[in-house]
A and B are shown apart, each in its own frame.
With several copies, the nearest count.
Chain A
Amino acid sequence: MAEGAAVKKKQKVNVPFDYDKYLRKGKLPHIWCPGCGHGIVLKSLLRAIDKVGLDKSSICMASGIGCSSRTPGYVDFNTLHSLHGRAIAFATGVKLAKPEMNILVTIGDGDALAIGGNHFIHACRRNIDMTVIIYSNAIYGMTGGQVSPTTPEGAMSTTSPHGNMEPAFDACAVAEASGASFVARSTAYHMQELEKVLTAAIEHKGMSVVEVLDSCPVYYGRQNKYKSASHMMEEIEKKGTVSGAQAKNLSEEEIGDRFVRGILKQDKDGVEYCDAYDNLIAKVQVKK
């Protein structure tokens, strides 16, 4: 009996997370290449959604164009696979027209920060309530491996065949400076931390930006001589980052060019955009 109970308890702990509840199973397997980090990000996101307990019908997941932007096709929400770079602008329309919806935007580094850069900074400025998850693999996966605004200097890509000479964005710094009230960074390697960060991001009211360092083993990996997907995760996501807690005890030199993970900004005081709009309506309707 006691043993049985113990087993039961154990089972409870070890029942694997039921992703199927959120997936459009008929659409799987997904198109992502073997070892692509995008799947890991998606799984972390689904666990976070589950933790927050969002109603599936209340979620609008929007994306642009790119490998990462295929995410909405696999999940059982209101899903909008829009145009390259425009996901946040489309999502702004959905949210403002129907503020009770929960908006998730799943997009690539190119989608968010290259062609979509303007919508990105303005959504941050407005502090409109949505969670933008950047699948930041430092490359254009979908189109076959071109340089992106997050490709590190010196890295190879099909459009930086002599080594990238452009400085990269610090996406989180740009988001912060533009006014986003929640900014965080994690990696596909740190998928449990990522789940936590995403949970906090979804729960946060206002613009939440989560940059997820993840990997494109096929285009970024091959061109930059990584041996495997795990090798990339090890080198870029694990060794290339430090947690916020670690960073506190390190000097800037010690941190070097490693990225700091964790919640980098969380401002709960600012008024969210749709709330501000509701206040405005209340004000003018009273006046009227």
Chain B
Amino acid sequence: MGDRYELRFSGSGGQGMILAGIVMAEAAAIYDNKVAVQSQSYGPESRGGASKAEVIISDSGTIDYPKATAIDCMLALTQEACTKYHGDIKKDGILLIDSDEVKDIPEGDFKVYSFPIIETARGELGKIIVSNIISLGLIAELTGIVSHGAMEKAVLARVPVAFTELNKKALQIGFDKARELKGN
């Protein structure tokens, strides 16, 4: 479908994939004035295990079907999630993986970007909890689907004030590294 941009954030429970989806949707729909729908899969025993959140973005109009049909960009922070969920990525879509976690990279008609997201969060920022924010920075830059400004506003609106700086930094790392990745 033409005016329909599909994103999937996947990882394991507790890695903040749903929050990533929400922030992405808010960046697009509140701060960039697009239309967005965010949804997630949610099992009764989803404690642990693979977890995913999806965001559909459109420039205009209503988004009817809220789930991914042909993914433009997918993030996978774990091997399990990557293996389980990559199948819906569309031709020429983007797969962003954590290079330390996902060793078995799926084959397909899509572009794979690989980056040590979690290790960067731990190493450069001392908090693996911001892996999802780094991811958001990466994706914003890689896809261009939301503006940097909107993304920053969306992130900061969702995190406690005490962590503003940390998250700003995480996001910036994402932006910067994505530019490098694209350069490759």
Contact = CB atoms under 8 A, between A and B. Distances in A.
Verify that A and B bind, or say they do not. yes
Contacts, number: 3
Query: Lowest 3 A-B CB distances belong to which pairs?
Result: A31-B45, A33-B47, A31-B47
From DSSP, what is the main secondary structure of chain A's interface residues?
loop
3 contacts: A31-B45, A31-B47, A33-B47
Contacts of B45: 31
Interface of A: 31, 33
Interface string B34-51: 000000000001010000
A143 B143 CA distance: 37
A280 to B, nearest CB: 25
Nearest to B46: A31
Nearest to B45: A31
A261 to B, nearest CB: 30
Interface of B: 45, 47
A213 to B, nearest CB: 23
A111 B88 CA distance: 41
Contacts of A33: 47
A33 B45 CA distance: 10
A270 B45 CA distance: 41
A31 B47 CA distance: 7
Contacts of B47: 31, 33
B37 to A, nearest CB: 23
B44 to A, nearest CB: 8
A31 B45 CA distance: 7
B45 to A, nearest CB: 5
B72 to A, nearest CB: 32
Nearest to A218: B47
A125 to B, nearest CB: 30
Nearest to A36: B47
Contacts of A31: 45, 47
A143 to B, nearest CB: 11
A33 B47 CA distance: 7
A33 B49 CA distance: 12
A57 to B, nearest CB: 28
A141 B110 CA distance: 42
A85 B173 CA distance: 51
A31 B49 CA distance: 11
A162 to B, nearest CB: 20
A31 B48 CA distance: 9
Nearest to A29: B48
Nearest to A33: B47
